[in-house]
Amino acid sequence: MRLGFYQFEPKFHDPEHNLARIETALGRARADLVVLPELCTTGYLLRDRAELERYAEEVPSGPTCRRLAAVCARRNLAVVAGLAERAGSRIFNSAVLFTPEGRVNTYRKSHLFLDEKDIFDPGDTGFPVFEVGSVKVGMLVCFDYIFPEPARSLALAGCQVVCHPANLVLDYAQWMTLTRSAENRVFWVLANRTGTETLGDRTLAFTGLSQIVEPRGRLLYRAGMDSEELPVIDIEPERALDKLATPRNHLLDDRRTDLYRL
């Protein structure tokens, strides 16, 4: 399976510009699955709920969804994209999987970061696993990485490749996902963004360093802090099915759930 991510700096408040850039980048990608950053068409530091309302769209009928679905069909490609999803009166910070056959699957960010709590609704999907070809994939969005349970839930559901759209700002985040990958024996594609955004007296610096990690937590590829790039790495997804840390230690079956009370 050829796995990739597109790391770039979205232009704030300019979905049309960002979507055109994404379409151009995906149009050149020779990959089976490409992961895009969180909120990849709008930028991150949205002022308030009213501003978010302007950009949120329904899945799968919204304009970003329709254009990404068209690229996937044309290029025989699967894409995971972070976007603001409108569902009735609620708005989620979602990751959406588009497959080449036209399937659209959604994960809604469970753990909202900082002031996201003021404008988004917390996700309600749990941690579903979907298929790209015969490979089981799951999605997390950015801050979900800081808790062990989301990645573990995906692994227990059979996920082989974790797709992780992000707008990371904490400088230890990339390192933590190496552990999440190793403790669950899964491949991990972290698609982060670059650049800075300012809102009033707040400035966020996004840390780049997007990465593809193999099931023992080793880096297969890491991007630069500021670079725009779309690397593609060939992986063997079946390696994520082997959960043995030693011949007698199975990372999922050996858990002492009888002792994990609190």
Contact residues toward ligand ACM (CB under 6 A) are 38, 113, 142-143, 167-169
Closest CB to ligand ACM among residues 72, 142: 142
Report the b/e string of 225-256 with b at 16+ CB within 10 A: eeebbbbbbebebeebeebeeeeeeebeeeee
Strand ranges inside 44-128, DSSP E: 78-87, 90-98, 104-108
109 is catalytic: yes
Q: How far apart are CA 37 and CA 228, in angstroms?
A: 12
* DSSP letter, residue 144: G
Q: Tell me how far, at minimum, the Cβ of 44 lies from ligand ACM, in Å.
A: 7
Q: Tell me how far, at minimum, the Cβ of 118 lies from ligand ACM, in Å.
A: 14
Q: Tell me how far, at minimum, the Cβ of 154 lies from ligand ACM, in Å.
A: 17
Closest CB to ligand ACM among residues 163, 168: 168
Q: Which of 38, 57, 85, 197 is catalytic?
A: 38
Report the b/e string of 195-205 with b at 16+ CB within 10 A: bebebeeeebe
Q: Which of 57, 109, 116, 136 is catalytic?
A: 109
The CA-atom distances, in angstroms, between 99 and each of 71, 76, 103, 111 are 10, 8, 5, 25
Q: Tell me how far, at minimum, the Cβ of 143 lies from ligand ACM, in Å.
A: 3
38 is catalytic: yes
11 is catalytic: no
Closest CB to ligand ACM among residues 43, 237: 43
Q: Decide: 233 and 189 in contact? Cβ < 8 Å.
A: no
Active site residues: 38, 109, 142
